[in-house]
A and B are shown apart, each in its own frame.
Chain A
Amino acid sequence: MKLIIKDLEEFSAPLAKLTAQELADILFNLGFETEILAGKEPILDISITPNRPDVMSALGVARELEAWRQKDLKRVQAVEFKTTDLINKLPVSSELKINFKDKVCLQYHGIILEDVVIGESPAWLQDKIKLLGLRPINNIVDLTNYLMELYGQPLHAFDLDSILGAQMTIRSAEKNETVTTLDGVDYKLKGGEPVIADQEALIDLAGVMGGANTAVDAKTKRVLLQAAIFDSEAIHKASKGLSVRTDASARYERAVSPDLSWPVLEQAAQLLKKKDFGQAKAVSRVEALTQDVQELKVKVDLGRVNSLLGLKVKEEQAVRIWELLGCQIDDKLRISPPTWRIDLNIWQDFAEEVERLIGLDDQLPATRLARTETSAGLSEYEWAEGIKDRLIELGLSEVFTYSFIGGQDLAVFNLPKQGELANPLNPSRSFLRPSLLPGLARVVAENSFFDPVTVFEIGHVFLKDKEETRLALAFAGATDSLDAWVARLADAFGIDSAVFKKNITTHQLTQPQHQFYKIRRKNVFMIEFPLLVLKSARRIPKKYFIPSQTIPFRPLSKYPPVSRDIAILVDRGVNSNEVIDVITEFHDAVEFVSMFDEYVSDSLGENKKSLAFHILYSSLDKTLIDEEVDTIHAEIGHELEKSFNARIR
Chain B
Amino acid sequence: MKKGSLHPTSQFLRRAIQIFKDLGFEVVDSPEITTEKHNFDDVRMPANHPARDMQDTFWLKDGRLPRTHTSAFQVPSMKDRKPPVRLLIPGRVFRNEATDSTHEALFYQLEGFVIDEQVSLAQLKWSLANFATKLYGADTEVKFVPSYFPFVEPGLEMHVKVNGRWLEMLGAGMIHPEVLEKMKVDPKKYQGYAFGLGIDRLVMLAHEVDDIRRFYRGNLRFLYQFGTGQ
A-B contact count (CB 8 A): 269
A553: nearest chain-B partner, CB-CB: B207
**Which stretch from A111-119, A326-334, A493-501, A541-549 is at the chain B interface?**
A541-549
* B84 & A372 in contact (Cβ 8 Å cutoff): yes
Identify 9 new A-B residue pairs, CB closer than 8 A, beyond the known A310-B122, A366-B125, A400-B218.
A236-B48, A348-B177, A371-B22, A396-B4, A397-B224, A400-B9, A453-B220, A552-B207, A553-B207
**Which stretch from B35-43, B53-61, B68-76 is at the chain A interface?**
B53-61
Q: Name A348's contact: one of B17, B53, B101, B154 (CB within 8 Å).
A: B154
* A50 & B50 in contact (Cβ 8 Å cutoff): yes
* B121 & A310 in contact (Cβ 8 Å cutoff): yes
* B86 & A374 in contact (Cβ 8 Å cutoff): yes
Q: List CB contacts (< 8 Å) of B23-40 with chain A.
A: 23-29, 31-33
B34: nearest chain-A partner, CB-CB: A467
Residues of chain B within 8 A (CB-CB) of A182 are none
B165 contacts partner chain A, Cβ-Cβ < 8 Å = no
Q: List CB contacts (< 8 Å) of A495-547 with chain B.
A: 544-547
**Which stretch from A135-143, A147-155, A218-226, A380-388 is at the chain B interface?**
A380-388
CB proximity of B217 to chain A, nearest CB, Å: 6
**Which stretch from A173-181, A286-294, A440-448 is at the chain B interface?**
A440-448
A86 contacts partner chain B, Cβ-Cβ < 8 Å = no
Q: List 16 A-B contacts (CB under 8 A).
A: A50-B50, A308-B191, A348-B154, A348-B177, A355-B121, A371-B22, A372-B24, A381-B90, A397-B220, A398-B10, A432-B66, A440-B218, A450-B221, A547-B11, A556-B221, A591-B221
With A355-B121, A550-B206 as contacts: A422 and B4 at CB distance below 8 Å: no
With A50-B54, A369-B127, A425-B96 as contacts: A379 and B146 at CB distance below 8 Å: no
With A311-B122, A398-B4, A467-B32 as contacts: A51 and B148 at CB distance below 8 Å: yes
A247 contacts partner chain B, Cβ-Cβ < 8 Å = no
- Complex CA gap A557/B177 in Å reads 53
* B126 & A392 in contact (Cβ 8 Å cutoff): no
- Complex CA gap A591/B32 in Å reads 31
Among B28, B48, B130, the most chain A Cβ lie within 10 Å of the Cβ of: B48
CB proximity of A490 to chain B, nearest CB, Å: 17
Residues of chain A within 8 A (CB-CB) of B49 are 50, 233, 236
CB proximity of B43 to chain A, nearest CB, Å: 14
- Complex CA gap A455/B118 in Å reads 47
Residues of chain B within 8 A (CB-CB) of A454 are 4
Residues of chain A within 8 A (CB-CB) of B148 are 31, 49-52
B169 contacts partner chain A, Cβ-Cβ < 8 Å = no
* A401 & B24 in contact (Cβ 8 Å cutoff): no
CB proximity of A381 to chain B, nearest CB, Å: 5
Among B60, B154, B226, the most chain A Cβ lie within 10 Å of the Cβ of: B154
B161 contacts partner chain A, Cβ-Cβ < 8 Å = no
* A236 & B219 in contact (Cβ 8 Å cutoff): no
* A455 & B122 in contact (Cβ 8 Å cutoff): no
Residues of chain A within 8 A (CB-CB) of B215 are 400
With A352-B153, A367-B120, A380-B29 as contacts: A553 and B209 at CB distance below 8 Å: yes
With A28-B145, A423-B59 as contacts: A381 and B220 at CB distance below 8 Å: no
Q: Name A546's contact: one of B4, B15, B24 (CB within 8 Å).
A: B15
Q: Name B3's contact: one of A371, A393, A553, A620 (CB within 8 Å).
A: A393
**Which stretch from A160-168, A357-365, A628-636 is at the chain B interface?**
A357-365
Residues of chain A within 8 A (CB-CB) of B28 are 379, 381
Q: Name A367's contact: one of B22, B123, B146, B221 (CB within 8 Å).
A: B123
Q: List CB contacts (< 8 Å) of A392-443 with chain B.
A: 392-404, 419-426, 429, 432, 439-440, 442-443
Which 6 residue pairs spanning A and B have beta carbons closest together?
A: A310-B122, A310-B120, A31-B146, A443-B218, A352-B154, A372-B24
* B218 & A447 in contact (Cβ 8 Å cutoff): yes
CB proximity of B44 to chain A, nearest CB, Å: 10
* B99 & A577 in contact (Cβ 8 Å cutoff): yes
* A374 & B24 in contact (Cβ 8 Å cutoff): yes
Q: Name A467's contact: one of B12, B33, B191, B230 (CB within 8 Å).
A: B33
With A400-B218, A467-B32 as contacts: A309 and B122 at CB distance below 8 Å: yes
B residues with a Cβ closer than 8 A to A are: 1-7, 9-12, 14-15, 17-18, 22-29, 31-33, 48-51, 53-54, 58-62, 66, 84, 86, 90, 92, 94, 96-101, 105-106, 114, 118-123, 125-127, 129-130, 143-148, 150, 153-156, 174, 176-177, 191, 206-209, 211, 214-230
Q: Name A346's contact: one of B3, B7, B18, B177 (CB within 8 Å).
A: B177
A201 contacts partner chain B, Cβ-Cβ < 8 Å = no
- Complex CA gap A364/B122 in Å reads 7
* A367 & B122 in contact (Cβ 8 Å cutoff): yes
* B101 & A594 in contact (Cβ 8 Å cutoff): yes
- Complex CA gap A307/B11 in Å reads 37
A71 contacts partner chain B, Cβ-Cβ < 8 Å = no
Residues of chain A within 8 A (CB-CB) of B100 are 594
B32: nearest chain-A partner, CB-CB: A460
Q: List CB contacts (< 8 Å) of A451-488 with chain B.
A: 453-456, 460, 462, 467, 469
With A388-B6, A398-B7, A467-B32 as contacts: A419 and B226 at CB distance below 8 Å: no
A237 contacts partner chain B, Cβ-Cβ < 8 Å = yes
* A620 & B33 in contact (Cβ 8 Å cutoff): no
* A460 & B146 in contact (Cβ 8 Å cutoff): no
With A423-B59, A460-B92 as contacts: A399 and B146 at CB distance below 8 Å: no
* A361 & B143 in contact (Cβ 8 Å cutoff): yes
Residues of chain A within 8 A (CB-CB) of B216 are 400-402
* B59 & A422 in contact (Cβ 8 Å cutoff): yes
A544: nearest chain-B partner, CB-CB: B14
With A308-B120, A546-B15 as contacts: A360 and B144 at CB distance below 8 Å: yes
* A392 & B122 in contact (Cβ 8 Å cutoff): no
CB proximity of B97 to chain A, nearest CB, Å: 8
* A373 & B24 in contact (Cβ 8 Å cutoff): yes
Q: Name B228's contact: one of A392, A439, A550 (CB within 8 Å).
A: A392
B5: nearest chain-A partner, CB-CB: A397
Residues of chain A within 8 A (CB-CB) of B22 are 371
A578 contacts partner chain B, Cβ-Cβ < 8 Å = no
* A31 & B145 in contact (Cβ 8 Å cutoff): yes
A584: nearest chain-B partner, CB-CB: B217
CB proximity of A365 to chain B, nearest CB, Å: 6
Q: List CB contacts (< 8 Å) of A318-361 with chain B.
A: 346, 348-349, 351-352, 355-356, 360-361
A12 contacts partner chain B, Cβ-Cβ < 8 Å = no
With A391-B4, A462-B33, A544-B14 as contacts: A348 and B153 at CB distance below 8 Å: yes
Among A52, A356, A381, A591, the most chain B Cβ lie within 10 Å of the Cβ of: A381
* A425 & B105 in contact (Cβ 8 Å cutoff): yes
Residues of chain B within 8 A (CB-CB) of A373 are 24
- Complex CA gap A233/B24 in Å reads 43
B209: nearest chain-A partner, CB-CB: A553
